[in-house]
Amino acid sequence: MRLKIKDQELPIRAKGLKGKMRRVVKAIDTVVEWIGAYMMVIMVAIVAYQVFARYVLRNTPAWSEEVALLFMTAYGFLSIGTGLGRRCHLSVTIIYDRAPAWLRPWLDRLSDVLSIGFGLLLLIEGYKFTVLTWSSQLPATGLPNGLGYVAVPVTGLVIIISGLKWLFVGEEEG
């Protein structure tokens, strides 16, 4: 929607709580996307260095595979959060497609509630597992083992925020 004042068109920003919620979710989505992009670049650089060191230098660094695996795991989990937030995840729609039109909004809400529940599970249990494994060390780098699981509760939080947005705000307007 646009507002026209003295021959100038200005976009009208969403006002109120819904508009703020959309902006917060969009900002979180953008930050997660940028973090994922940087992680992918770093991961590719590490693997490229590993291949170079193995075949050219004949000396594979011990840390490279372990660090690349940490980045790959975190990237995978953050992608889950982003996919659920954008509703571009895989889903089985056989029940939804055969449901009457009046039932579909209720199934959408049920899906949102289940997503929030899944996010809560990831947040709580992921945090517990991260804390539990933090005291042990990864063999090649000596980094805390729990570092590999930090992305799980973060992903849970992203899913919860996105699920609340879908549940209470819904689709973008316009």
pLDDT in tens, 75-126: 999 999 888 888 887 778 888 899 999 999 999 999 999 999 999 999 999 9
The residue ranges of every structural domain in the chain are 15-168
* Residue 3, pLDDT above cutoff 60: no
Over residues 63-86, mean pLDDT: 91
pLDDT for the residue 15: 67
Residues 146, 130: contact at Cβ < 8 Å?
yes
Q: Tell me what percent of the residues of the chain surpass a pLDDT of 90.
A: 66
Amino acid at 47: V
Identify residue 98 by its one-letter amino acid code: R
* Weakest mean pLDDT among 12-26, 75-89, 158-172: 12-26
Which residues sit opposite 2 in a β-bridge? Answer: 11
Closest by Cα among 69, 78, 89, 80 to 147: 69
Q: Give pLDDT tens digits for 120-146.
A: 999 999 999 999 999 999 999 999 999
- Is residue 95 within 8 A of residue 124, CB to CB? The reply is no
Q: Tell if the pTM clears 0.85, that is, is over it.
A: no
Phi, psi of 93 (to 5 degrees): -110, 15
- Is the pLDDT higher at 153 or at 24? 153
DSSP one-letter string for the chain: -EEEETTEEEEPPP-HHHHHHHHHHHHHHHHHHHHHHHHHHHHHHHHHHHHHHHHTSS---TTHHHHHHHHHHHHHHHHHHHHHHHT-S----HHHHHS-TTTHHHHHHHHHHHHHHHHHHHHHHHHHHHHHHTTSB-TTT--BGGGGGTHHHHHHHHHHHHHHHHHHT-SPP-
Q: What percent of the chain has pLDDT over 70?
A: 90
